[in-house]
Structure 1
Amino acid sequence: MTDTLSAQWVVLDIEGTLMPTAGVHVVLYDYARPRLGPWIDAHPTDPVVVAAVARVKAEAGLPADADTAAVVAVLHGWMAADRKAAPLKELQGLIWQDGYARRDLVSEYFPDVVPALRGWDEAGLKLAVFSSGSVAGQIASFSTTTEGDLTTLFRHHFDTVNAGPKREAASYAAIAEGIGGPTPPRIVFLSDVPAELDAAAEAGWQTVGLARAGEPYADADFGDHRVAKSFDDFRIVPDA
């Protein structure tokens, strides 16, 4: 029997949940990597870029007058380690936003994803995103997809800057407050990462772990969380 959950909000991870991990770690990372230096040099007065570069230098212990090459070397190291550093995510997000606008980049999701998102939206559920990728990058990725512009499906976007780390319960409490303070059981969080689900559950949320075939967490131990191989394995219906 298909498991059924009742909720008001559905909050979704992206990587490994909505799209293949390779879509981020290979396609998007490969697009951003060679463009970081040129982007920094081409936007010397952009306050977002200036602030991000300053944070990179501060976090990496670089001198204030370190050149772009030194900053980019740090950024590339963080990318190789998949470090969820806010200044890296902001710079990547700007580059990806430009790439999607140019249609150099087009998002492609797992086949079960878009029908489920549209179905939940039509049923009256409210959708939000919580990803380590920047809000700007999230919106850009949903604007240019193989299924058209999906941005209107989502009410809110959260990242590690406006919510906090994805593996801390306080971040999920902040999101609950940010979407209007519904009682936690009325929120369902979908992610492929057990530690993120643990944090959401600690904050009182309902959770579903996505163990998608071929993904890094396909064989992970999801503990007491509901587990599904696709969105077709469960139903979410609006609260009465």
Structure 2
Amino acid sequence: MTAPTPARWVVIDIEGTVTPTSQVHRVLYDYARPRLGPWIDAHPDDPQVAAAVEAVRAEAGLDAEADTAAIVAVLHGWMDADRKATPLKTLQGLIWQQGYADRELRTDLFADVVGALLQFREQGAGLAVFSSGSVAAQIASFSHTADGDLRHLFTHHFDTVNAGPKREADSYRAMTEVLATAPDEVLFASDVPAELDAAAEAGWRTVGLARPGEPFADADFGAHRTVKTFDDISIEVPA
């Protein structure tokens, strides 16, 4: 039996790690896609929306007079390419937040997740999330799950805005500062090897989730310990 991993913090990815990829690519993407244009038009004075629209224009090289249809065409193209563009994530997050509040959306987690997270908390570990989805989307997602409102489980939420790109070591170094602990006391769980590589470069401990049927099920996780479910992860909180 593998010895428990020393960890004062457990940081989790979302897509493919605690929720099926289909939850994002089919349910959430399909919900947001037809609502992007109407949302932009309905919230012209919202600072987050205005900033996101300007960022889309800048990143896509559109002129300042580009209308909503042109903006949406870019956003749809990014969605089709599964590009983790910050302005797209911002707009999607706002739409999803409303969808969860209206109870039109619900998050389905893998069956092994909640029990493991509760166990980590009972042992005294802190829990945090690091996802390319916006902090607003993360909080909304965990507020309406098939297992109830799980927001109370997490102390910190990180995204590509307040931490940085998921495949760059500096992002993990920035989060280490916020967590106020030694990097080797943080365990990161993700299904993406490149993210685990970046976390390890920053000194974090890592575990890869190779869930059957998910996109990275057969990926090469290299030296990272790899499991199929959270049931196979055990930790020990340093004294």
Amino acid of the residue matched to residue 13 of structure 1? D
Contact 1:2 1:234 in 2 (8 A): no
1:143 aligns with 2:143: yes
Alignment correspondent of 1:47 = 47
Structure 1 residues 102-121: aligned runs within 5 Å: 102-121=102-121
| Residue 173 (structure 2) pairs with residue 173 (structure 1) | yes
Uncovered stretches (5+) of structure 2, i.e. residues with no partner: none
TM-score scaled by length of structure 2: 0.99
Counterpart contact for 1:36–1:92, Cα < 8 Å: yes
Q: Post-superposition shift, 1:203? A: 0.3
Q: Do residues 228 (structure 1) and 232 (structure 2) align?
A: no
In structure 1, runs of 5+ residues without a counterpart are none
Taking structure 1 as the reference length, the TM-score comes to 0.98
2:155 maps to 155
The aligned residue for residue 189 of structure 1 is 188
Using the alignment, how far apart are the partners of 2:57 and 2:40 within structure 1? 13
- Following superposition, the deviation at residue 15 of structure 1 comes to 0.3
CA shift digits 1:55-91 (9 cap, x unpaired): 0001001111110000000000000001010000000
In the TM superposition, what is the alpha-carbon distance from 1:234 to its structure 2 partner? 2.2
Report how far residue 174 of structure 1 moved: 0.4
Partner-residue secondary structure (3-state), 2:155 = strand
Partner of 2:25: 25
Task: Tell whether 2:11 aligns with 1:4.
Answer: no
Q: How much does 1:237 deviate?
A: 2.1
Q: Distance in 1 between matches of 2:3 and 2:101?
A: 39
Q: 1:67 is matched with which residue?
A: 67
Query: Deviation of residue 196 (structure 1)?
Result: 0.2
Task: Please give the root-mean-square deviation of Cα atoms over the aligned residues, in Å.
Answer: 0.7
State whether residues 209 and 228 of structure 1, in contact with CA within 8 Å, keep that contact through their aligned partners in structure 2: yes
CA contact (8 A) 1:9 1:187 kept: yes
Secondary structure of the residue aligned to 1:100 is helix
Deviating above 4 A after TM superposition, structure 1's stretches of 4 or more consecutive aligned residues are none
Which residue number in structure 1 is paired with residue 204 of structure 2?
205
Identity of aligned residues (%): 70
Residue identity in the other structure for 1:36: L
Question: SS at the partner of 1:220?
Answer: coil
